[in-house]
Structure 1
């Protein structure tokens, strides 16, 4: 008999706003038995074992809250945790190994954070019994695996775990004082604090109050705090969000150093280039978001990431995606037509306190998607604010060619949830776009590509970071504008969602003959999305210099040379991979000035000449 997963998503289900046709039309219920019933205490329907998987309730639910699927029978013995009756199910757990970094890849709402909480001891798995399970039964469940001794020690309190949370924007609400005060409380002595501050480039921030830190600075503070604790297990949930490429590599090196001390290290991240550089092994989560997640067998980082992008897991013989995700090996040409100039500017200067931004004269053409690259604190957001007239330049002028309306998506979306938390997604979109937003041509693409339909009647305050990001991005793209200025639109999105967002942006720009400027730190997505790039150089926090928009090859080489990093190409799927410092390829690419678009002859031959 197959294992039947029948899930009612409690966040999507709204029984008070519907006629509960899922119950009224169930043929088993009409026969006098309870295949599905309303649980008043839980506040949503519950599907019982009498369900025959006819699918009527799935089709009747107006909120897409019900999922019913049959899985292979052998998975029944691997069910690790379920969130209440008819709730999300997680099958299997990964087995971390001391001294090696384990990476976890998968879509959002697939169980990655649940895995992190279980391995951290914050959540006791119920083995899908929908009741509390004795510690002895949990340990017995994993007998014969490497998890048995790990969980035995964990539940005895012999394993100290540090879990770096996903959402670092909330840190100032709970942590007060300067960066040094916070780290001293954890590290205990100035020498330890000094070393970790140097390693993560926090030295110049030690006397700054936590409430004044940017997103990237808060991320580094959270990682520094985690690394200062003398733990046995370190779990990092999305440690690269808001960090530029150099800081991502700096964090990766610090995490690898910890793993070298025979510690358990688990990293959950959506930046595949950094995860490939950092992880020794990976597991892939597949299934249906919000319904069930299955942990794959462990494989090497390169093999696992390639299989994930191809959408086919070899050892499981499982197709997890219909179409593979592939990246272009050669840069796309920059679309330049003199008659299509939309916006230009002279040399600009803007001073904000001790910081000065210089912007070299540049031009933007219709049909361009411009990736904006640069380290944190270099003036990218300041430049965005100059374009949207939030700031006036101290010298120079921005020259629009005709009427230029600008749609701006801010960097931090959590602030909007605080400001408009009591509004539903539908009300928020109507407020920022207009009540007729569903009649716009692009709406079906946005609703389907960003999975917005199930969120429409939920309040902003109830959304996760990824869900809120998708809503705010949709609100920005739905506005009628000539320039779409998107500040970190990929933060908190999984790789599938990032690709969909990129595809929707490209379609809007191509069909509307308008422009997008995308400020993003994920190099892989900048390459996937952009037709040209704009590079910001200088000294973060003091002086920034913005180069004019240029073609991808020139811009990528200029930026990566300034950051002292080289990438090679994975020939099988075209994805960029970070070279180890002073490796043969690293030295070769520096010598020929090719920092990004490079595939070695050996790898071309290995991939069959592709």
Structure 2
């Protein structure tokens, strides 16, 4: 059985330990050089001599070591490895002309590495120390669809929309229209501006854009290039449901023009709507990843939710994921009110928010839904005291914790050091109830400035939940999180709010996460960028129907998993559900 040993060198802290990995290794004790220490006193593990006992894994105080027994069929199938004892990637997704291929899997499992290899930014080494030659690549991929791809790679034009777009304003300056004109190689800018609702902001500066506007701009810029292959890394982040479907249609148009497209996406409804095939990526984050053969999109997503690859005989999740198909019962009457907010308005130069009065009870989570630019973040900032209302008075005589839309920090140090400075009661309870379920304990020793978008998001969520507060405000907590971490986040949030008898408002565009989290809904409607109106909190069925009716989208249910699937506009199911007024839940 092939075996790999992976050492996370960032987590490894030899100055804080006693080299337990080496000192307790049975191989070392009998005189073998199973583990030696390099010039930094960090371990180098011989995979040939390692017996797979796992003692070093359990003895390492920083969880920096993984010893993994791989399936026999993966032997000699490593596409790339980041040095001895480094992360290993097995397999690659297959770009296909005229098709959109999706990639789904946990963060830190090799999706970005795969895109870099296919994009020519990273030369694969096939698990060796040196980058592979053309002949070695030809032999490795002989007989597969990727053989021809790598033979033509130097001649291919590739367009790439990266995962994180919030840093864009610090790198590029200028008006939106001019920036798009500079990258327009297909004469499609006017059409893209219309399809992606960018026409109203073409004369604005990049620095003035919201996260959703930046995301749509990044997608438009990538799509405007004349390329053979297009990569989109998490294109739905910060977009509302309506915008996600517009983006999905824009990406599908590329395939209809004969282009090859690959999309990394964690929103299952959007992934289902836009892709033809799905590659499932499984493995251990920051240790190894395996990219499966392509499957049809419906079957592929269902297999991912099941957690079992039948053809490969691999189970990568102990429990399957199922979704609720019926609306939850009405929120319990008689719950103690935490606070009531009166009728509020907030006016800016070109935008006005109007909020109906409402109340929030102890122990409940209120989901906040609605199109972008209708005032959801403004409302959160009013409650957090960041903004003052134009009319109406908020009596906020209780503690509030606020997780903003864009997680960021200037803190220099490790995740653990950051949380210790932020969380008043950093104790075992906090570690067990929040840090471990969110996977924060796995990145304790990582420098906070080196975290990925998803890792930083989880860290800031944990910091917010660690505050001693009565009301918790979360603005887009699912952004950059993979499917499994979204569900973990939802469970942790539910548990913390219940145990503290506090309350939470959660703004999010992932309707699955909102459905899983919420007791009631606060629904925003209006003209984006002009006016917003907030109603509620409302009972779940009423709120979800009002929200989806506003954006004109209905969902059907997959009979196997219960997951929501977007109905095609004007299809039979779409028309029937609209007539019945049931946009999301079944009766």
- Alignment partner for residue 566 of structure 2, among 578, 585, 610? 578
Q: C-alpha displacement at 1:469, in angstroms?
A: 0.7
Q: Given the two structures, how large is their TM-score scaled by the length of structure 1?
A: 0.93
CA distance in 2, matches of 1:303, 1:291: 27
Q: Tell me if structure 2 keeps the 8 A contact 1:337–1:365.
A: no
Structure 1 match to 2:108: 109
Gaps of 5+ in 1: 600-610
Structure 2 match to 1:373: 369
Q: C-alpha displacement at 1:223, in angstroms?
A: 0.6
Secondary structure at 2:536 match in 1: coil
CA distance in 2, matches of 1:57, 1:192: 56
Structure 1 match to 2:162: 165
More divergent stretch after superposition (229-238 vs 32-41): 32-41
Matches within 5 A, 1:245-394: 245-338=241-334, 340-394=336-390
Matches within 5 A, 1:36-435: 36-40=35-39, 44-48=42-46, 49-154=48-153, 157-187=154-184, 192-338=188-334, 340-399=336-395, 403-414=397-408, 416=409, 419-420=410-411, 422-434=412-424
Q: Tell me if structure 2 keeps the 8 A contact 1:238–1:269.
A: yes
CA distance in 2, matches of 1:29, 1:347: 71
- Alignment partner for residue 455 of structure 1, among 406, 431, 443? 443
Secondary structure at 1:265 match in 2: strand
CA distance in 2, matches of 1:178, 1:574: 44
Cα distance per residue 1:314-353 (max 9 Å; x no partner): 2222211111111111111232434511111111011122
Cα distance per residue 1:102-158 (max 9 Å; x no partner): 01010011111111111111111110012221122112210101111111111xx22
Q: Tell me if structure 1 keeps the 8 A contact 2:335–2:362.
A: no
CA distance in 2, matches of 1:297, 1:164: 24
Q: C-alpha displacement at 1:410, in angstroms?
A: 0.8
CA distance in 1, matches of 2:85, 2:416: 27
Secondary structure at 2:282 match in 1: strand
Q: C-alpha displacement at 1:399, in angstroms?
A: 4.2
More divergent stretch after superposition (503-512 vs 487-496): 503-512
Structure 2 match to 1:602: none
Cα distance per residue 1:149-173 (max 9 Å; x no partner): 111111xx22111111111111112
Cα distance per residue 1:20-52 (max 9 Å; x no partner): 2212222222333321222337x7422112112
CA distance in 1, matches of 2:66, 2:432: 22
Structure 1 match to 2:426: 437
Q: Tell me if structure 1 keeps the 8 A contact 2:322–2:563.
A: yes
Q: Tell me if structure 2 keeps the 8 A contact 1:216–1:243.
A: yes
- Alignment partner for residue 495 of structure 2, among 495, 503, 507? 507
CA distance in 2, matches of 1:59, 1:136: 41
* Alignment partner of 1:541 is 2:529: yes
Q: How many residues align?
A: 586
Secondary structure at 1:430 match in 2: helix
Gaps of 5+ in 2: none
CA distance in 2, matches of 1:210, 1:393: 27
Q: Tell me if structure 2 keeps the 8 A contact 1:335–1:365.
A: no
CA distance in 2, matches of 1:116, 1:335: 45
